[in-house]
């Protein structure tokens, strides 16, 4: 069932223990600020206030004992968008306490082929996310049964590795 942006946003304020995200796309350009992507690709320094609102939300949640973590399924070579997201977004958000894992499918089949992007809150509330061309966010749907998505989460984590280790090896490719 489609939920409003307000309902979706409220889940980030009301979860009690953990919020997990699976990211499956190589390009979310349409959901990002074009100027930030341009600046990154031009080699400019990351502005201090880049993504600050999310970083502060993550920090507040983590400091209150909550866990925020995600797995991104990707393959190399990285798209320009992924170089931006990982280089600016993940590295900043990790300093705020968000945990990142990479499921690299460059040399193996994707074990979660066809699974959409989703968030799971406290292992009970699941929201799948729909994206249009160029990674434009279209909307979010509440899912009635969390069990299937918890299996996807567990599978993703079992195949993934910590972002920092992966980035050390492949971040400059």
pLDDT in tens, 76-111: 999 999 999 999 999 999 999 999 999 999 999 999
Q: Give me 51's structure tokens.
A: 């993504």
CA pseudo-torsion sign 150, 73, 32, 40: positive
Residue 110 pLDDT: 98
Q: The domain spanning residue 130 has which CATH number? A: 3.30.870.10
Residue 173 pLDDT: 78
In the 8-state DSSP scheme, what is residue 145? -
Q: Give me 108's structure tokens.
A: 């193996």
- 55, 58, 64, 66 alpha-carbon torsion, rounded to 10°: -160
pLDDT in tens, 130-173: 999 989 999 999 999 999 999 999 999 999 999 999 999 998 87
Best CA proximity match to 162, nearest among 118, 100, 112, 111: 100
Ramachandran assignment for 131, one of left (phi > 0), alpha (psi -120 to 50 degrees), beta (any other):
beta
Q: What's the pTM value of the predicted model, to 2 decimals?
A: 0.95
Between the CA of residue 8 and those of 39, 119, 138, what are the distances in Å? 29, 10, 13
How many domains does one find in the chain?
Answer: 1
Range of the domain at 106: 2-44+52-170
């Amino acid at each position: 069932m489609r939920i409003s942006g307000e309902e979706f946003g409220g889940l980030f304020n009301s979860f009690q223990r953990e919020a997990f995200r699976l990211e499956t796309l190589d390009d979310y350009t349409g959901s990002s600020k074009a100027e930030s992507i341009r600046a990154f690709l031009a080699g400019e320094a990351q502005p201090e206030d880049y993504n600050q609102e999310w970083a502060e939300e993550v920090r507040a949640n983590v400091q209150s004992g909550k866990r925020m973590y995600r797995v991104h399924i990707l393959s190399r070579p990285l798209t320009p968008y992924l170089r931006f997201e990982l280089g600016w977004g993940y590295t900043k958000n990790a300093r705020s306490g968000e945990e990142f894992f990479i499921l690299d499918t460059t040399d193996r089949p994707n074990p979660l082929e066809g699974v959409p992007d989703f968030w799971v809150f406290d292992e009970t509330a699941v929201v799948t996310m729909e994206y249009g061309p160029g990674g434009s966010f279209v909307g979010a749907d509440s899912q009635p049964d969390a069990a299937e998505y918890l299996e996807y989460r567990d599978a993703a984590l079992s195949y993934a590795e910590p972002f920092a280790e992966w980035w050390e090896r492949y971040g400059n490719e």
